[in-house]
Amino acid sequence: MSIFGSMKTAISGMNAQANRLSTVADNIANVNTVGYKSASVSFSSLVMPGSSGNYNSGGVESTTRYSISEEGNYVSTTSGSDLSIKGDGFFIVQAADGTTVLTRAGDFLPDGTGNLKNSAGFTLMGYPYTSGAPSVVVNGFDGLVPINVKDLGGLVAIPTTYGTFQGNLDSNAEVAPAGSDTLPSENDPSSTTSDTKKMSVVGYDKLGNTVMYDVYFTKTAEGDPTAAPPVDSSWEVAMYRHADAAAGNSPFPYSTDPVAVETLTFDSKGVQTSAGALIIDDPTTGNTIGMDFSKMTQVASDFSGDGKLNGQAPSAVTDIKIDKDGTVYATYKSGNAKPIYRIPLATVASPDMLTPLNGNAYSANGNSGVTVTGFPQTNGLGVINSGSLESSNVDLADQLTTMVEAQRSYTANSKVFQTGSDILDVLVNLKR
């Protein structure tokens, strides 16, 4: 048995407990740090080979571990740019040097340039809606840009690009006589029957000017379910620019041709059998508007209809809202919302093996696995909650208990060292 060996073993034990106490100090210091993940120390024995009747003391090795996958408590805040992730995943952020890393610290605020940054100075990254709804790059960070909420306060006009129309066409309506100018699409002063129905919908041009369209429904054929094959009922849908209507009691003739004409067909049960798609080509505004009439029915009930078109008149941005799926919306004074960014999340196969960095950030390595990117609520990723922050996952009571344990163990190891030193003194004094 080596006296020096026992003293070195005691030193390894003291060093291991010192490492343990260091993690406790870090954890307690960051007990109120947003998104902080607690550290701990695990121990493994170090065995030294010995011979029969002679034991060589080994030592202990300490390994630091991080509970990155363990969620902390969630705290509500009054800031809509404060974000937390309920479930798996990390925010993708960019450091000042351009390095892309991961974090759960979502205390984001706009800086002087409008970029959303957290308290550690990391910039939140997302996909822009500049070319329509973005798609995610699952195996990299290509296409990500800093989420910027500056310069969204000016007046913004959104042209109409899409509309819907739903309601009912009376199955008992008269069919327009064949061979006469009774269809609205013919743009004749007499181009209506007593059962032609008219409604108007409002859209917006590229400058935000209001554009009203008159919609005419006229029955053109009666269905015959007994025919072979059965014949569907049909209705003509014709749309005109309201501004081009004639003055007087009748809007016909309009000064321009109809901007859209389509036929809707219905079976004997009143269910629409046509696609119900209609395209408005407005030569005056240059707008191309896709209209969806697929929810129209034809049953024995009064005519009814409700049309809606997207777009808005010039309106200022009043707020920024972030949805659970990561979509960042600019909310206008008019009440409309426009998507401007979408925030992705990233994950790895083993989050607890990520490399910790300053500012509660992490980087992937060979042990953690490669980074996989996706949108919230897809492929097992969590939900983004706005106005919420994830607190530190440190259990203060547990840390205080661990601190006492580390202190006791350190003291015991020091006693072993002290005893070895006393024995060594006895050996030295034998010569005297």
Phi, psi (deg, nearest 5) at residue 429: -75, -10
Answer whether 157's CB lies under 8 Å from 314's CB: yes
Q: Does any domain span residue 306?
A: yes
22-31, 128-137, 177-186: lowest mean pLDDT where?
A: 177-186
Same domain, 354 and 410: no
Domain assignment present for residue 397? The answer is yes
The pLDDT of residue 317 is 83
Q: What is the DSSP letter of 276?
A: -
Three-state DSSP state, 7: helix
Domain co-membership, 164 together with 252: yes
One domain, residues 165 and 292? yes
Mean pLDDT within 418-429: 82
Three-class SS state of 97: coil
Residue 155 in any domain: the answer is no
**Distance of alpha carbon 36 from the chain centroid:** 22
User: Within this chain, do residues 269 and 183 fall inside the same structural domain, yes or no?
Assistant: yes
Helix (H/G/I), strand (E/B), else coil: 196: coil
What's the pLDDT band for 336 if we cut at 50, 70, 90? confident
Residue 299 has pLDDT above 70, yes or no: yes
DSSP letter for each residue of 351-394? GGGSEEETTTEEE--TTT---EEE-TTSTTB-EEEETEEEPP--
How many domains does the chain fold into? Answer: 3
Nearest CA to 242 among 282, 200, 293, 209? 200
In this predicted model, what pLDDT tens digit does every residue of 19-45 receive, in sequence order?
Answer: 999 999 999 999 999 999 999 998 888
Residues 219 and 168 in one domain: yes
Last residue of a domain, one of 288, 310, 332: 310
Does 309 have pLDDT greater than 70? yes
pLDDT at 157: 86
Half-sphere exposure of 82 (CA within 13 A, CB side): 14
User: Which residue in the block uniquely carries the two structure tokens 């607890």?
Assistant: 352
pLDDT at site 56 = 72
**Is residue 180 located within the same domain as residue 130?**
no
Residue 302 is assigned to a structural domain of this protein:
yes
Q: Find the mean pLDDT for residues 157-175.
A: 93
pLDDT at 177: 84
Model pLDDT for residues 342-377, shown as the tens digit of each residue? 999 999 999 999 999 999 999 999 999 999 999 999
Q: What is the CATH number of the domain that holds 240?
A: 2.60.98.20
Model confidence at 1: pLDDT above 60: no
Residue 179 pLDDT class (50, 70, 90 cuts): low
Do 18 and 65 lie in a common domain? yes
Q: Which domain holds residue 417?
A: 3-70+393-429
* pLDDT of 378 strictly over 80: yes
Residue 333 lies in a domain: no
The string of pLDDT tens digits covering residues 46-78 is: 777 766 667 777 788 888 999 999 999 999 999
- With 80 as the cut, is the pLDDT of residue 223 above it? yes
Q: What are phi and psi of 83, to 5 degrees?
A: -130, 145
